[in-house]
Homo-oligomer: A and B are copies of this chain.
Amino acid sequence: MAGTRWLDEREMAAWHGFLEATSRVSRHLEQQLKEDAGLSHAQYEILVRLADAPDGEVRMTDLAHGLFTSKSGLTYQVGQLEKRGLVERRSCPTDVRGVLAVLTTEGRDTLRAAAPGHVAAVRAALIDVLEQDELDVVARALGRVGARLRPPGQGIGNSDSGGISTSSS
């Protein structure tokens, strides 16, 4: 396999830009959120999903699907949120194994208090830095990138058959 297609300058710029933006934005938001609201980004995302759901309750598994952590990671974070009284665990009525994460009143208040600052930070770090057309390109292009790496067989169709494989052409 002599022929590796290395990255040319433009490709390298895109890759490096992606990497740097990724880690800087992530770190920045993590800090902002922890300082202003005492939440990790993961915890904030959990609260958002719960707040968006009817009755503020979501099954653990469903929570894990939209989320970017492993099963055990979710267990841990929900545990932390439970300690602080922002979330309660309740057993699922339709499946004895199931566990529902339920948003408490205090959890909802905490989220309400944290949201404005977080949105402002997201704007300042990413959204408001992009031009209108860049915004759309980023949404479309990165959306495609994320979707292609989505694990198969969950949610609404991947729609893209061209999977990613480690076959060396």
Q: Which residues of A contact B (CB under 8 A)?
A: 1, 4-7, 10-11, 13-28, 32, 68, 115-117, 119-127, 129-131, 133-150, 164-166, 168
Contacts and interface: CB of A to CB of B under 8 A. Distances in A.
Determine how many copies of this chain the complex contains.
Answer: 2
A5 B119 contact: yes
A166 B32 contact: yes
The secondary-structure label for the interface of chain A is: helix
19 contacts: A5-B120, A7-B119, A10-B139, A17-B138, A17-B140, A18-B25, A20-B142, A20-B147, A21-B146, A21-B149, A24-B68, A28-B149, A120-B166, A120-B168, A125-B164, A129-B141, A130-B145, A131-B141, A134-B141
B138 A138 contact: yes
